[in-house]
Structure 1
Amino acid sequence: MIILDLLHEKIARDPIPISDTLKAFLNDFDAMENWDAFLHKDQIILNSPSSGVGIIDSTKDNEACYVFDEISELFFIPDIGFLSISKDRSIGFFDPENKKVENPIHLKKVLSVDSEITDVAYRKDWLWVATSGSGIYLIHLKTGKLLHYDVSSGLPTNYIMALKFHDDRTVWASTNNGIFRVIFSKNQQNINFENINYFNNKNGIPITEFIAGKSFEDSSGKLYFMGNHGLLMIRSQNFNRTNFTNNIVLTELKANHKPIPTTLALQHMNAIQLEHNENNLEFYFSSISGTAPENLNYSYMLEGYDKEWVHAGNRRYASYTNLLPGTYYFKVKLTHEEPTDTNANELEILIKEAYWQTAWFKGSLILVMAFLLFLLYHVRVNYLLKIRGIREEISADLHDDLGARLTTIQLLSAIHKNRFKNNKEFNQVLQQIDSEVLESTEALHDLVGSIKMNEEQMEDFLAKTRRYISETLEGSHLKYSIQINESLSQEGFSFKKRKDLFFIVKELINNIRKHAKATKVEVILDKKDSQLLLLVRDNGIGFDVNFNSDRNGLKNLKTRIERNNGVFSIVSNRNFGTSIEILIPFDSVSDIKSFLGFWTWNTKTKRIISKVSFKYGN
């Protein structure tokens, strides 16, 4: 093995004989991949990504070899020595003299990247790692903090071949298609890319494809990057930071795919107004710079629509559809720059409202709707008043006319009883007439009551039911108790259900009074499982519930309960009394409102109807 000194064009030291041991070691390295050799004191250090690191001690006769196959990449950094990257992506410090690797805890597996590592560079505690496919990683060697920059951060490509610093704020990078310069600022916790200038064959660069890890700096400060077809030399000190300031301008604005005519160029305008139907916008922009505009990466934002910057790559237009009326601000910048660093025009766009979108139109529409609702309310109230008047007329006619006729029949019957009191057969007929008249009077009273029942509140209905039970049983020998849950007055129970329930109570109470021969009666009105519970119990003679009777009482009872979606049960035994339990569901508020109308449930409106009805009756 011969070691050459290319700088002085001579052999650096005596040739090293190739023994069988050394040949076997060298044969382990893949001849098809690039591998590096380092001369460190009396040691020769070889490295390839697949075979690891080998050390040859040239001072020993047996050419002792040491292999570190867990190391993937090895780099020599003047300030810190040999830096190693293990195959598990842990970063460590390699000591070839003591033949060991130190892996600090905070640097273990910090670099989680699958792409090939092509080069590293070091500057003041920060390690810059170039990759082929994942951009650049920055690692703080003392804390393990990791930063990542790629095309979404403004880099022209993710394929970085080599890195070389010019000074503490400038680094150059070769890529698979040109080179670029990064100007950055640094503090203890972060590194910010302030400016990126990209150059390729469009800028006259003769070499655009470069070899991984091949770069160096000579004593005069010139930087060299090795390419596939030559060596590129850069005089970095001749590049002034202000030579490549990028001025971004808006070149065209379209609405609904048609250019918007303006009296001035867009870059000289601060604001523009558009009609409500000009809400599909396209913005076109470019860069007036010392580098090719297509080599730049752009980001844009439409304030009032976008919540964050939109990365467009090298695309130089933005489009928005179906924008709502309002004020927007369109901004564009280079992806790696802060908005304050870019000389871009901020364009204010005002999209006017259509007349039906204006506040005065919406206010007028609300007023019209309110007037229509009031008119509908007024019509509804008048309709209810008219229906109430008709009911009252019918009720009064029935009460006065039929009531008077029934009273006349009852008087005539009483007169004829005195005249024919000795005629038993005739008296029996008159007695039947009196009974029918009495039942007809009660039926008339019930009919008039049912006509007026829909005007009652639930509280009034419960009071009327209690009163009816008391009046019916008061004159009999029965002892009775009535238990009514007062909270029932808060539940919804429609007019039809109240009417049917009242007739059910009447039927049951009258049956007990006439047929049960009971001495005690108990009536309970309560709640059970969101339903109204009616429980009637007596200690009478009972009856056979399985006996088919021709009487209509039970049939009517069953019909009234089932048409209100209720259920009932009867428990009765001879001489042990009867217990009847009935459950009828409460109405929801929406059901009641839909049946009787919303306004009849409004307390204030009820008072209005009552006052108007009083005037109507007068």
Structure 2
Amino acid sequence: MQQFLSGSNPDKLKSNFVWEIVSESDSTFLVGTNIGIQRFNFHTKKFSDLNGMSNQNQKLLATTISRILIDNFSKIWIGTYNYGGIFIIEQKNFRPANLIHLQNEYGNPQSLICGKIRCLYKDKFGNIWIGTEDGLNKFPNQKKFVRFKNMPHKKNGLSGNVVSSILEADDNILYVGYGGNGFDKIDLKNNSLKHFGYSPVSGLGLSDADVICMFKDKKNKIWVGTGSGGLNKFDPVNNRFRSFRHDGKNPYSINSEWVQQILETSDGKLLVGTNDGIQIFDQETEKFYNYQPVKMNNSNKLPSIFSVNSLFEDRERNIWIGTWLNGLYRYDPRKDTLINYLPDSKQNSISGNKISCIYQDAKGIIWIGTFNNGLDKFNKKSNEFKHYKTSNGLSNDVVFGILEDEKGNLWVSTLKGLIKFDPEKEKFRIYEKEDGLVENQFNWHAYYKNYKNEMYFGGKNGFVRFNPDSITVDDKKFPVVLTNFKVFDKEAALPKSLPMTKGIILESNQNFFSIDFTALDLMPTHKHIFAYRLEGIDPSWVQSVFRTTAFYTDIKHGIYKFSVKAMNSDGIWSPVTSIVIQINPSWWNTWWFRVLLMIFVLALLYIGYKIRMNQLLKIERIRFNIASDLHDEIGSNLSSISVDSQSLILGNTLNDTERELATDISKTAKETVDSMRDIIWFINPKNDLNEDIIFKMKQTAAKLLLGIEWNLSVSEKVRMDLFNLEIRRNIFLLYKEALTNVVKHSYAKKCQIRIDEDSANFYLSVEDDGIGFDDKKIKPSTGFRSMENRAKNIKAELGVSSKPNEGTLVKLVFIK
């Protein structure tokens, strides 16, 4: 370890009180002490002062140096501790070329907050951050806009606040006019300023301090229009003035003391626009003549009195006249015609009658700025106007000035910021005070573009100068962070800070929440467009300009992903910031509850199934027992009656009457036995199968239709086993009654039986080729009424159709 102490030799350290050490190169570093700054060389092990510094600058730096920083342009930033501010050394080949001193300036909020420097820091973008005793300053890496303001306590500050006119002469002399305070003549080479105001002495100053407009003619004379002092002519060589005032006794004097615009045409005419019209000023005779360019009697004429806001001559030598309340005039000298454009109900007319400025771009397109109606684009071929207003992207509909840069972009000054407009893409970029402007509110006539393509725009608090090529797109990626998470408008307690939290778990009763977010680029909120989305809830990105909070209410349980991003004024989107939000379900929506509920429901269904099956088995046993009992008891008794009656008939003990009665008893007993067998067959559960039922019907047909050719066709779709016992029994008995009628009454030779079924109905038809009958005249028999009743019992439709000698059709339709 080697120690370096102060000494009397020039190559020694000046003071042992060292505040700062900063590496300058591979062989040198800078040392800040309590009495100045030195450079140390590693090879020679010697200290030295900064070469090339003047004695005056050396004395300024002979103070306590608290901080040293070298920026991206090799400038040395030196912070002082004893309220001396900041010194910036611009150097070439390690030799100082220029010294800039930054201090706190009274009345200038853009100056250094405090002269006592605590720290210096260079961020990744090259911006310099200055920590002082009283606050923080940011010095941007690139100053897009150079600001000029009225600072009375600063040498060479502007003489006025409200800039009303700007123009630059060929010899790097800048003229700045002020509302109510004359104008400044600024030498841009040596940064000197000379002010000219009102003077009661003719020739020594303006006739009125309220400067409205300024114009430089081809002879390099400066013409100044005032608010109440007429027209002034300024000679920049001898700084003398010549004023031209209104004289009611002189018909050749200027017609108004309020001069709004001045224009020298390509043919040398000096046009002066006032609050009462336009005049031509003859510089040789110094006489004013009324400007009425149209010579043809049948053409439009300019009004005798009107207020002129803007004068412009395009490359085709058309004279454009913008007025207050009288719209826009265009004089075509080739055709000697004057056209007046006024707003009307037509969509493509000019948007307003108050014209503030007129401009022709490199493509020959005429642009018109209006007061309160935005920007208009004029199509010469169709004589139509296209409008651009706040609804299209303008920051304000009051347009004051229009200039074009080398890339074809229009720069438009308004009552609310400066706008860069791309006519091809029709996109607007709004620059405001936060972007480096001196003020958001600009002014009439205060705009100018010099031969270096630098632009000037003035407003109520000074003016700015910039080169449009230096106004680049800010493509730096800036982060978006989540700043707050609230549940029912109360800040949620999280185990970590929100930016460090990857996921949030909420209970089911916490499904009303909000998320705050912001962009970390130090620009105000309104300079961003935010877009956020809660996946699963928002179908697409939700855009927000001023609001930096996303609200969500009554969100269903589940896992969601909240994402947010931001776009700066140049259309650059930040990376997406995301957080997972999980809302737990209520206990009745949990998986285990649903599983238990399903098990419970299945158990109930199983118990119900078992109960139902037991009931069906009991019914089956009852049916079987009833069938057995009917067969064994009643069936055997009826059979005994039939046998006993037959024995009586065969005996010789009965007379004729008794024999006839015994015969009836035997017959009734046999029929009852047959009916009882059918009933027993249907009651018996062994016969519930569909095949058994169909077989029974075939068997019945074979038994009843003896001697008749019959056929039974059954569709494969038929499922009679799906009908309950009552329906099956009624269908069968109706079927049996129909066959009985065929046998007893039809004298048929053939009988066709059809059984069919579809998704809605069951069909049964019995058709014979017997003698038939007139179905409109015959009275219903007992058998027919029996069939009708059975059809009604099962809510079926029964149809009987017949004609004499054409057979009979009985059709049953049962709606399932």
Using structure 2 for the length normalisation, give the TM-score: 0.54
Matched-pair contact (CA < 8 Å) for 2:689–2:721: no
CA distance in 1, matches of 2:495, 2:564: 22
CA distance in 2, matches of 1:170, 1:356: 63
CA distance in 2, matches of 1:27, 1:14: 18
CA deviation vs aligned residue, 1:510-532 (integer Å, no higher than 9, x gap): 23323444444444445699551
**Distance of aligned partners of 1:464 and 1:21 in 2 relative to their CA distance in 1, 3 Å threshold:** same
Kindly report which structure 2 residues correspond to 1:138-153, keeping only aligned pairs within 5 A, or say none. Answer: 150=393
Q: 1:556 aligns with which of 786, 800, 813?
A: 786
Instruction: Determine if the alignment matches structure 1 residue 133 to structure 2 residue 390.
Output: yes
Matched-pair contact (CA < 8 Å) for 1:391–1:452: yes
Q: 2:416 aligns with which of 171, 177, 182?
A: 177
Give 1:582 deviation, angstroms.
Answer: 1.9
Kindly report which structure 2 residues correspond to 1:215-230, keeping only aligned pairs within 5 A, or say none. Answer: 215-219=447-451, 222-225=454-457, 227=459, 229=460
Give 1:300 deviation, angstroms.
Answer: 1.9
For residue 601 of structure 2, give the secondary structure of its aligned residue in structure 1. helix
Report the equivalent of 1:199.
432
Q: Which amino acid aligns with 1:46?
A: W
Report the equivalent of 2:710.
481
Report the equivalent of 1:122.
none
CA distance in 1, matches of 2:418, 2:670: 115
Matched-pair contact (CA < 8 Å) for 1:71–1:84: no
Report the equivalent of 1:566.
797
Instruction: Determine if the alignment matches structure 1 residue 256 to structure 2 residue 530.
Output: no
Report the equivalent of 2:302.
27
Give 1:253 deviation, angstroms.
Answer: 0.9
CA distance in 1, matches of 2:477, 2:498: 20
CA distance in 2, matches of 1:174, 1:319: 37
**Distance of aligned partners of 1:442 and 1:233 in 2 relative to their CA distance in 1, 3 Å threshold:** same
Instruction: Determine if the alignment matches structure 1 residue 64 to structure 2 residue 276.
Output: no
Report the equivalent of 1:389.
621
Give 1:395 deviation, angstroms.
Answer: 0.7
Which one scores higher on RCO, CA 8 angstroms, separation ≥ 6?
A: 1
Kindly report which structure 2 residues correspond to 1:112-131, keeping only aligned pairs within 5 A, or say none. Answer: 117=387, 131=388
Count of residues paired in the alignment? 514
**Distance of aligned partners of 1:47 and 1:442 in 2 relative to their CA distance in 1, 3 Å threshold:** farther
Q: 1:77 aligns with which of 336, 352, 361?
A: 361
**Distance of aligned partners of 1:50 and 1:438 in 2 relative to their CA distance in 1, 3 Å threshold:** farther
The structure having more radius of gyration, on CA atoms, is 2
CA distance in 1, matches of 2:570, 2:812: 75
CA deviation vs aligned residue, 1:467-508 (integer Å, no higher than 9, x gap): 21112122xxx3222242424525897334432222122112
CA deviation vs aligned residue, 1:252-288 (integer Å, no higher than 9, x gap): 2111222101344323333322223221111122344
Report the equivalent of 1:314.
546
CA distance in 1, matches of 2:812, 2:570: 75
Give 1:392 deviation, angstroms.
Answer: 0.9
**Distance of aligned partners of 1:530 and 1:293 in 2 relative to their CA distance in 1, 3 Å threshold:** same
For residue 333 of structure 2, give the secondary structure of its aligned residue in structure 1. strand
Percent identity of paired positions between Structure 1 and Structure 2:
19
Report the equivalent of 1:142.
none
The RMSD of aligned alpha carbons is 4.6
For residue 718 of structure 2, give the secondary structure of its aligned residue in structure 1. helix
CA distance in 2, matches of 1:480, 1:383: 45
CA deviation vs aligned residue, 1:41-71 (integer Å, no higher than 9, x gap): 7x342265955632225xxxxx933659799
Instruction: Determine if the alignment matches structure 1 residue 508 to structure 2 residue 741.
Output: no
Give the unaligned 5+ runs of structure 1.
58-62, 95-100, 118-130, 136-149, 588-618
Matched-pair contact (CA < 8 Å) for 1:270–1:345: no
Matched-pair contact (CA < 8 Å) for 1:30–1:50: no
Give 1:168 deviation, angstroms.
Answer: 5.7
Kindly report which structure 2 residues correspond to 1:7-406, keeping only aligned pairs within 5 A, or say none. Answer: 8-9=220-221, 12=264, 13-14=268-269, 18=291, 21=294, 25-27=300-302, 31=306, 36-38=311-313, 40=315, 43-46=317-320, 53-56=330-333, 64-65=336-337, 67=339, 75-78=359-362, 80-82=363-365, 101=381, 117=387, 131-135=388-392, 150=393, 174-179=413-418, 198-200=431-433, 207-210=439-442, 215-219=447-451, 222-225=454-457, 227=459, 229=460, 232-235=463-466, 247-336=479-568, 341-342=573-574, 345-406=577-638
Give 1:164 deviation, angstroms.
Answer: 5.4
For residue 298 of structure 1, give the secondary structure of its aligned residue in structure 2. strand
Give the unaligned 5+ runs of structure 2.
1-213, 224-263, 271-279, 281-288, 342-347, 352-357, 369-374
CA distance in 2, matches of 1:266, 1:301: 18
Structure with the higher helix share, 1 or 2: 1
Matched-pair contact (CA < 8 Å) for 1:325–1:352: yes
Give 1:321 deviation, angstroms.
Answer: 1.2
CA distance in 2, matches of 1:211, 1:336: 27
Give 1:380 deviation, angstroms.
Answer: 2.2
Q: Which amino acid aligns with 1:56?
A: P
For residue 637 of structure 2, give the secondary structure of its aligned residue in structure 1. helix
Kindly report which structure 2 residues correspond to 1:389-428, keeping only aligned pairs within 5 A, or say none. Answer: 389-421=621-653, 423-428=655-660
Report the equivalent of 1:5.
216
Report the equivalent of 2:159.
none
CA distance in 2, matches of 1:26, 1:316: 56
For residue 277 of structure 1, give the secondary structure of its aligned residue in structure 2. helix
CA distance in 2, matches of 1:274, 1:169: 55
Q: Which amino acid aligns with 1:463?
A: F
CA distance in 2, matches of 1:54, 1:568: 99
